Structure 1
Amino acid sequence: MIKEYTKKDGSKAYMFVAYLGVDPITGKQKRTTRRGFKTKREAKIAEAKLQAEVEENGFNIKEKVKFQEVYESWLVEHKATVKPASFRATMNYARLHILPIFGHIHIDKIDIFFCQKVVHKWAEKYESTSHMKIVVQQVLDYAIKIRLIKDNPMRLVKLPKIHRREKNNRFYTKEELKTFLDCAKVYNDGQYLPFFRLLSFTGMRKGEALALTWDDINLKEQTISINKGLSLDETGRPMISTTKTKASVRTISIDTETLKILSEWKIKQRKQLLYLGYNAMSKTQLVFSNNNNQLYYPMVANEWLNKIIKCYNLKRITVHGFRHTHCSLLFDIDTPLQIVQERLGHSDIKITMNIYTHVTERKRDEYADKFASYINF
Structure 2
Amino acid sequence: MASFRRRGCKCEGKKRCTCGATWEYRIVYTDRRTGKQREKTKGGFPTKKEAQLAAGEEERQIQYFGFAENGNESLEKFFNEWLEIYKKPHVKPITYSVQERNVRLNILPRWKNYKLKELTRNEYQKWINELRDHYSEGTVRRIHSIFSTAINDAVHEFNILRENPIQKIKIPKDIEKSEKVSFFKKEQLDVFLNALKTPMKNAKYQHSIQYYALFSLLARTGLRIGEALALTWDDIDTTAKTVTVNKTLVYPLNSEPYLSTPKSKTSERTIRLDDATVALMKRHRINQKEVVLRYENYQASKDNLVFHQQDGRWLRTNVVRDYFKIVCKRTNLPILSPHALRHTHAVHLLEAGANIKYVSERLGHASVKVTADTYLHVTKKIEEDALNLYERYVGN
TM-score strictly above 0.5:
yes
Please report how far the alpha carbon of residue 100 of structure 1 lies from its aligned counterpart in structure 2 after TM superposition.
1.6
Aligned length: 357
Gaps of 5+ in 1: 1-6, 12-30, 37-49
Q: Is the 1:90–1:135 Cα contact (8 Å) retained in structure 2?
A: yes
**Residue in structure 2 matched with residue 276 of structure 1 by the alignment:** 297
- Aligned pair partner of 1:141 in 146, 152, 170: 152
SS of the residue 1:197 aligns to: helix
Distance 1:156 1:209, change over 3 A: same
Between stretches 82-91 and 228-237, larger displacement belongs to: 228-237
**Residue in structure 2 matched with residue 110 of structure 1 by the alignment:** 119
Q: Is the 2:249–2:258 Cα contact (8 Å) retained in structure 1?
A: yes
- Aligned pair partner of 1:153 in 139, 155, 165: 165
Q: Is the 2:75–2:116 Cα contact (8 Å) retained in structure 1?
A: yes
Gaps of 5+ in 2: 1-7, 13-38, 45-57
Structure 2: how far apart are the matches of 1:184 and 1:71?
Answer: 48
SS of the residue 1:100 aligns to: helix
Structure 2: how far apart are the matches of 1:273 and 1:321?
Answer: 30
Please report how far the alpha carbon of residue 72 of structure 1 lies from its aligned counterpart in structure 2 after TM superposition.
0.3
Distance 1:365 1:345, change over 3 A: closer
Between stretches 230-239 and 330-339, larger displacement belongs to: 230-239
**Residue in structure 1 matched with residue 82 of structure 2 by the alignment:** 74
Q: Is residue 2:65 matched to residue 1:65?
A: no
Q: Is the 1:238–1:298 Cα contact (8 Å) retained in structure 2?
A: no
- Aligned pair partner of 1:224 in 243, 262, 269: 243
Q: Is the 1:228–1:242 Cα contact (8 Å) retained in structure 2?
A: yes
Match for 1:103: what amino acid?
Answer: K
Q: Is the 2:71–2:117 Cα contact (8 Å) retained in structure 1?
A: no
**Residue in structure 2 matched with residue 294 of structure 1 by the alignment:** 313
Post-superposition Cα deviations, 1:208-231, rounded to whole Å, max 9, x if no partner, equal: 000000111111111111111111
Distance 1:349 1:365, change over 3 A: closer
Q: Which structure is richer in relative contact order (CA contacts within 8 A, separation 6 or more)?
A: 1
The 5 Å alignment of 1:117-266 reads: 117-124=126-133, 125-128=135-138, 129-145=140-156, 146-166=158-178, 168=180, 170-186=182-198, 187=200, 189-232=208-251, 236-266=255-285
TM-score (norm 2): 0.76
Please report how far the alpha carbon of residue 87 of structure 1 lies from its aligned counterpart in structure 2 after TM superposition.
0.7
Q: Is the 1:237–1:297 Cα contact (8 Å) retained in structure 2?
A: no
- Aligned pair partner of 2:100 in 91, 104, 107: 91
Match for 2:297: what amino acid?
Answer: L
Structure 1: how far apart are the matches of 2:378 and 2:310?
Answer: 40
Distance 1:98 1:222, change over 3 A: same
Question: What do you get for the CA RMSD once the two structures are aligned?
Answer: 4.2
